[in-house]
């Protein structure tokens, strides 16, 4: 993969999109911004609709606007995990979808949805050319990977759930639709699968896709990414906006030798404080009623704090020691990486891993940074085997019920 042209490798990371972290410390001043409703609302709009000027990449280089115009109807869009915000749909459109008078197999409908700002995470500029609505520019936003919908209207169509990772999204398949990629390049991107992306592939040429992480429950946590590279959300927001989305601005990380400057202007920096403030207000979702056994969960909690030794690292109100320390790859059970990929930590600035916070754990399977545990049962079994915990089958079942309750 290292011999792929830089711009095609950039496409691989681009879809990672912004929602996690930057070059200032949020611990006091930026936390105060969460108390300002106007700032939080501004951040919400940035999270949902701001492309940071990345149309330069998605349109001018990848020609994704042409792809949508010619081949991406709503059915195709939904099949690769794109979501539609039902609250952005006028009553006439809702009725047309329900009665079948609006086609879900026509790219023209996708263009119409983009004109309404209804496709979550995509920002389209639609102009009338020779009497026809034409998608002249297409960009991406943080919400593409880090929002989904509640499916209240239909599968893939509903009210937005900001901060929820879109594990239906197939980033590689979306990138592979670009007409400028070779068959070999498309094969790489198509190998990633749903809910996976590699936010470093475009920079180091190594292919090891990671699970799209949640962007909720981050308040009070200073190490946002799986490797704890930055001290606040704004670090990763800048990283993703510039190096992944292709937004206009700059990102520099001496520890990895990354230094990227896009465009003649900076469309990122002044948006980071409000964006971070909004993200800090997104709470982790509570478990659905009836989704776990409370009696078994109580037994599991005792195991979590006792024999299973989970609380040794998953400590405090946020169930993580990430504010105090990181961990060597030899300390975690998620390595070695699947399919012979290099250690993800080895590609990072810290060369280490943070302990993942656990609130909302029920919502975002698969688990571990590389998705190597499909379910919470798999997580517990892996720890029991690798760390020789001596848990019985009943113990493991109880522990899973506790994890589902968080």
pLDDT at 188: 86
Number of CB atoms found within 10 A of residue 144's CB: 28
Domains of the chain: 6-280 (no CATH), 294-404 (1.10.760.10)
Instruction: Work out whether the CA dihedral 385, 390, 395, 401 comes out positive or negative.
Output: negative
CA angle 274, 278, 279 (to 5 degrees): 115
Number of CB atoms found within 10 A of residue 390's CB: 9
Calpha distance 277→281 (Å, rounded): 7
pLDDT at 29: 52
Tens of pLDDT along the chain (406 residues)?
Answer: 434 444 444 444 444 434 343 333 444 455 689 999 999 999 999 999 999 999 999 999 999 999 999 999 999 999 999 999 999 999 999 999 999 999 999 999 999 999 999 999 999 999 999 999 999 999 999 999 999 999 999 999 999 999 999 999 999 999 999 999 989 888 888 999 999 999 999 899 899 999 999 999 999 999 989 999 999 999 999 999 999 999 999 999 999 999 999 999 999 999 999 999 999 999 999 999 999 999 999 999 999 999 999 999 999 999 999 999 999 999 999 999 999 999 999 999 999 999 999 999 999 999 999 999 999 999 999 999 999 999 999 999 999 999 999 9
Residues linked to residue 253 through DSSP beta bridges, in sequence order? 258
Please tell me what DSSP assigns to residue 37.
H
pLDDT at 88: 98
Rg of the Cα atoms in the chain: 21
The string of DSSP letters for 93-140 reads HHHHHHHT-S-SS-HHHHHHHHHTT-BTTEEEEEEEETTEEEEEEEEE
The string of DSSP letters for 255-304 reads TTTEEEEESSS-SSGGGHHHHHHHHHT-PPPPPPTTSS-HHHHHHHHHHH
What is this structure's pTM?
Answer: 0.92
SS3 per residue for 174-191: HHCCCCCCCHHHHHHHHC
Calpha distance 225→68 (Å, rounded): 32
Overall size of the chain counted in residues: 406
Contact status, residue 26 vs residue 232, Cβ threshold 8 Å:
yes
For 326, the token pair is 């990181």
Calpha distance 83→90 (Å, rounded): 16
Q: SS3 of 349, please?
A: coil
């Amino acid at each position: 993969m290292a011999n792929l042209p830089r711009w095609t490798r950039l496409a691989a990371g681009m879809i990672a999109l912004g929602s996690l972290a930057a070059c200032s410390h949020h611990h006091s001043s930026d936390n105060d911004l969460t108390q300002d409703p106007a700032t939080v609302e501004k951040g919400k709009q940035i999270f949902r609709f701001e492309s940071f000027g990345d149309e330069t990449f998605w349109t001018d280089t990848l020609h994704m606007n042409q792809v949508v115009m010619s081949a991406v109807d709503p059915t195709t869009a939904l099949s690769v995990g794109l979501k539609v915000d039902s609250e952005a749909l006028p009553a006439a459109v809702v009725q047309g979808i329900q009665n079948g008078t609006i086609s879900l197999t026509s790219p023209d409908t996708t263009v119409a949805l983009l004109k309404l700002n209804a496709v979550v995470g995509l920002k389209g500029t639609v102009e009338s050319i020779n009497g026809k609505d034409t998608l002249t520019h297409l960009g991406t936003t943080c919400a593409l990977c880090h929002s989904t919908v509640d499916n209240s209207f239909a599968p893939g169509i509903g009210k937005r759930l900001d901060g929820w990772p879109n594990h239906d999204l197939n980033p590689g398949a979306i990138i592979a639709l670009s007409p400028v990629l070779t068959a070999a390049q498309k094969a790489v991107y198509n190998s990633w699968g749903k809910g996976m992306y590699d936010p470093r592939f475009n920079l180091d040429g190594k292919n090891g896709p990671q699970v799209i992480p949640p962007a909720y429950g981050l308040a009070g946590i200073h190490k946002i990414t799986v490797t704890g590279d930055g001290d606040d959300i704004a670090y990763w927001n800048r990283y993703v906006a510039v190096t992944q989305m292709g937004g206009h601005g700059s990102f520099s990380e001496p520890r990895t030798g990354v230094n990227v400057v896009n465009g003649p202007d900076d469309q990122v920096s002044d948006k980071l404080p409000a964006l971070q403030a909004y993200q800090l207000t997104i709470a982790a979702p509570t478990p659905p009623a009836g989704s776990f056994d409370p009696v078994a969960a109580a037994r599991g909690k005792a195991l979590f704090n006792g024999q299973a030794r989970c609380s040794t690292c998953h400590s405090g109100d946020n169930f993580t020691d990430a504010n105090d320390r990181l961990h060597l790859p030899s300390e975690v059970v998620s390595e070695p990486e699947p399919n012979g990929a290099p250690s993800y930590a080895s590609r990072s600035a810290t060369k280490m891993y943070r302990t993942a916070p656990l609130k909302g754990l029920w919502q975002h399977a698969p688990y571990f940074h590389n998705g190597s545990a499909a379910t919470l049962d798999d997580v517990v079994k892996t720890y029991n085997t690798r760390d020789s915990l001596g848990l019985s089958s009943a113990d493991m079942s109880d522990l899973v019920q506790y994890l589902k309750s968080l």
